[in-house]
C-alpha cells in the first residue's frame, strides 16, 4: 500500500484536496466547522449532563471532550471510507488505479479534521487546569493507531457497501448505539462493577479511555491497554486487507 501511495502521490494529494473542497463547498465558515461541530456537541452534552454526572466527575468537560473527539473521528472516517468506492466508481472503472487510494484520501482528510479538533482539545485542557507532562507524549500512540483502526474498519464497510447498500442505514443505527455504549457522557461507575469490564470489548471506548487516563488522571495507561489497542487495530486492518484482496476485482461489477 505504501509503494502504491508513492507511485500515485500526485493523484492521492489531488483526492485529498478534492475531498476538502467538496466537504466545505458553499459554506461560509469552511474548515472552521471541523472545530465548531465537535465543540458545539461538547457544549450541548455539558449543559445537559453536567448536573447529572458532572458533580462527581473531575474535569467533566474534558471527560466529555475526550469521548466526542474520538467518536467523531471514528464516525467521520469510517462513514467516509464506506462511501469512498461508490463515490469514485467513475474513476476506477475507467482507469486502473489502486482502490485503496480513495479510502486513504478520506482517512487523511478526516485525520486533518481530527488534528484541528485535537488542538482545541488541548486548549480546553489548559483552561481546565490540567497539567501537561511527559506522559502527554503517549497520546501519539492512540492517535496513530486510531487512524489505522479506522482505515481497517473503513475497508470492511466500503466492501460491504458495494455489495449491500443497506449497510449504510444499518451502520447509522450502529453508530447511534455506539455513542451510548462508549461512556461518552456518563462515567462507567454507574454500571455494576462486575459489568464494567465489558466496556473494553468496545474498541472505541478503549481509545477514549486512553485519552482520559493521560489527560485527566495524568499518567501513562498500563501495558494491557496498549496491547488491547494494538490487537484491535491489527485485527481490523488485517480483516480489511483480506477482504480487499479477495473481492478487489469483483467491485467493478457491482458499482
- Residue-wise pLDDT for 75-126, tens only, equals 989 998 888 888 777 776 777 777 778 888 888 888 888 998 898 889 888 8
Domain-located, residue 164:
yes
Q: Which of 60, 69, 210, 81 is nearest to 148 (CA)?
A: 81
Structure confidence by residue, pLDDT tens digits, 17-62: 776 666 666 665 666 666 667 777 767 766 666 666 655 667 888 8
Asked if residue 172 belongs to a domain, the reply is yes
CA-based torsion, 47, 49, 52, 54: positive or negative? negative
Q: Does 15 map to a domain?
A: no
Q: Is residue 21 part of a domain?
A: no
Number of domains in the chain: 1
Q: pLDDT for 7-23, tens place per residue?
A: 667 666 777 777 666 66
Dihedrals phi, psi of 79, to nearest 5 degrees: -70, -40
Give domain status of residue 20, yes or no.
no
- Using alpha carbons, list the distances in angstroms from residue 56 to 14, 44, 51: 48, 19, 10
Burial of 56 (C-beta count, 10 Å sphere; 0-12/13-18/19+): exposed
* 158 grid coordinates: 466500503
* Three cell numbers, residue 181: 455504549
Report if residue 158 sits inside a domain.
yes
pLDDT digits (tens, 9 = 90+) for 202-246: 999 999 999 999 999 888 999 999 999 999 999 999 998 898 878
Q: Is residue 26 a part of any domain in this protein?
A: no
Helices first, then strands: H and E counts in the chain:
10, 0
Inter-CA distances, 12 with 15, 65, 175, 236, 237, Å: 5, 31, 28, 23, 20
For residue 87, the enclosing domain spans: 34-253
Q: Is residue 5 part of a domain?
A: no
Amino acid at each position: 500500500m505504501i509503494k502504491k501511495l508513492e507511485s500515485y502521490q500526485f493523484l492521492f494529494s489531488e483526492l485529498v484536496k478534492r475531498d476538502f473542497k467538496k466537504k466545505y463547498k458553499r459554506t461560509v465558515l469552511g474548515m472552521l466547522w471541523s472545530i465548531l461541530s465537535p465543540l458545539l456537541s461538547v457544549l450541548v452534552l455539558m449543559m445537559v449532563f453536567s448536573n447529572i454526572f458532572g458533580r462527581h466527575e473531575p474535569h467533566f468537560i474534558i471527560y466529555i471532550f475526550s469521548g466526542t473527539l474520538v467518536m467523531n473521528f471514528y464516525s467521520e472516517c469510517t462513514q467516509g471510507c464506506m462511501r469512498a468506492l461508490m463515490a469514485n466508481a467513475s474513476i476506477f472503472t475507467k482507469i486502473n488505479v489502486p482502490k485503496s487510494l480513495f479510502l486513504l484520501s478520506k482517512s487523511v482528510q478526516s485525520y486533518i479534521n481530527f488534528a484541528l479538533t485535537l488542538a482545541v482539545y488541548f486548549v480546553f485542557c489548559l483552561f481546565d487546569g490540567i497539567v501537561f507532562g511527559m506522559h502527554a507524549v503517549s497520546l501519539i500512540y492512540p492517535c496513530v493507531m486510531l487512524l489505522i483502526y479506522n482505515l481497517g474498519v473503513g475497508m470492511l464497510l466500503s466492501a460491504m457497501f458495494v455489495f449491500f447498500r443497506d449497510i449504510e442505514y444499518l451502520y447509522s443505527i450502529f453508530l447511534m448505539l455506539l455513542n451510548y455504549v462508549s461512556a461518552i457522557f456518563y462515567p462507567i461507575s454507574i454500571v455494576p462493577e462486575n459489568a464494567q469490564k465489558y466496556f473494553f470489548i468496545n474498541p472505541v471506548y478503549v481509545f477514549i479511555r486512553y485519552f482520559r487516563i493521560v489527560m485527566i488522571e495524568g499518567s501513562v495507561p498500563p501495558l494491557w491497554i496498549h496491547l488491547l489497542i494494538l490487537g484491535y487495530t491489527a485485527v481490523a486492518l488485517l480483516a480489511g486487507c483480506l477482504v480487499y484482496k479477495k473481492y478487489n476485482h469483483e467491485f467493478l461489477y457491482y458499482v
